[in-house]
Structure 1
Amino acid sequence: MPNWLQIMLESLWPLLSAAFTFTAPLTLLSFALGLALGLVVALIRLFGPRPLVALVRFYVWIIRGTPLLVQLFLIFYGLPSAGIVLDAFPAALIGFTLNVGAYTSEIIRAAIGSVPKGQWEAAYSIGMTWSQAMRRTILPQASRVAVPPLSNTFISLVKDTSLAAAITVPELFMAAQRIVATTYEPLILYIEAALIYLAMSSVLSHLQVRLEKRLGRYGGFIEARS
């Protein structure tokens, strides 16, 4: 057996274990919390009072205008100087959540804005309140429009979690770095890590395509944009 293949086989389980133990939970939790935050921010941007609108616009501006790696460093390495000390995983979770929240808020805001005004009028005409119209009429249509960009955000997040290695989260890329330190084979290990990321992204991309086809089959995208 070639030496490079033996190294890849021996390191496969440690890499997969790190992916399942840290990369996957960090991705899922960050996206779920970021999506909830993005929905709140989007609703404030569209319907909130001016002071809150200005506040959330400032938040989105800051997050979208600065690198994610810098944000992680500020949270993990910067906050301790202000007396706030966080473990690596919670710091990464906060950083990714804030980042995802800013980007998904723009996606959700655009999706809600794409729903024709006639849908609001139709909901009000049958006696719905604002919250009922939003929950029963507007959000279901907007969610269909938002599925493709939100799916892309989720797939990008899977790869972006590799940045958590910079603040010592023992996820997939950090596991590869640790194995490199003992095997002195960076090319082999980093290619293997890249292939694992590629496999995860490919599976998620396939699921995204199937989800979009399913929504399209029921007229989801057409109805939401007509």
Structure 2
Amino acid sequence: MDIVTTFFNIDVLWQSLPRLLEGLWVTIALGALSIALGLVGGMVLALVRLYGAAPFRFLAVAYIDVFRALPVLVWLVIVYYAFPFIGIRWSPFVSACFALTTVSSAYTAEIYRAGIEAIPRGQFEAAQSIGLSAWNVMRDVVLPQAIRIVIPPLTNNSINVMKDTALASVVALPDLLKQATQSQALAANPTPLIGAAILYLLLLLPLVRLVARFESRYSKREAR
């Protein structure tokens, strides 16, 4: 068999396409939900780390350090296969979403923290001098500027989360990679994996270009 028949078999790709598209929607749903929850969780962690009481700051730092050091795949296996022994049994989708969200929150928290600390201290003091409460200073003055700063790294992190959804195939979630490997087994041909790679590229390349645009825009703004 030649390389085209082996890896680019149109008949096999066409037969496996419905299964691949079904897996693609699962991947998109898992990635979008994990990203959204990670953004919210990361913001909470960042604020606790910066402004919480000492015990809560310690817990936030410990959480961030542990989950930035823990491989996603290892944590996912623990969540899905070990948690049932302590009475926590989740579906593959919920387990994968929980694992991705908890790890993503740790990275997102550090991104938010860097953005908040990049705001000049004088802006905090100026806002407080006109009578704004700490909450209003953060909501109306600091966060709008910080979020603009951290959009490129947040988008980069979102791409990583979306790519990490492929790890969910190890807990039998019928995502894009799982559907591709099953289709490969049924057809005895690796073409479905090539199809999955193409779908991943179509999904993630626009996000990659979006990051480049954000970074270019931010660099021009800094140069002024």
TM-score (norm 1): 0.90
Verify: 1:197 aligned to 2:213, yes or no.
no
2:87 aligned with 1:83:
yes
Q: 8, 14, 23: which is aligned to 1:9? A: 14
Asked if residue 71 in structure 1 is aligned to residue 75 in structure 2, the reply is: yes
The one-character-per-residue Cα deviations of 1:68-112 (angstroms, maximum 9, x if unpaired) are 001001110000111211111111111111011000000000110
| Residues 19 and 179, structure 2, Cα contact 8 Å, conserved in 1 | yes
* Pairwise CA RMSD: 1.9
* Aligned equivalent of 2:46, options 42, 51, 55: 42
- Provide the rounded CA distance (Å) in 2 between the counterparts of 1:206 and 1:12: 26
1:152 aligns with 2:156: yes
| CA distance in 2 between partners of 1:115 and 1:211 (Å) | 19
Q: Distance in 2 between matches of 1:213 and 1:126?
A: 35
Deviations 1:190-212 (A, max 9, x none): 22211211121111123334455
Report if the CA contact (8 A) 2:152-2:214 is conserved: no
1:102 matched to 2:106? yes
For residues 9 and 216 of structure 1, what CA distance do their matches in structure 2 show? 44
More moved, 205-214 vs 56-65: 205-214
User: What 5-or-longer segments of structure 2 have no aligned partner?
Assistant: none
CA displacement at 1:215 relative to structure 2: 6.5
Structure 1 position 216, deviation (Å): 7.0
Which residue identity does 1:125 align to in structure 2? S
CA shift, 1:13, in A, is 2.9
Q: Give 1:207's aligned residue.
A: 210
Query: 1:158, CA displacement in angstroms?
Result: 1.3
Q: CA deviation at 1:214?
A: 6.2
2:152 is paired with a residue whose SS is: helix
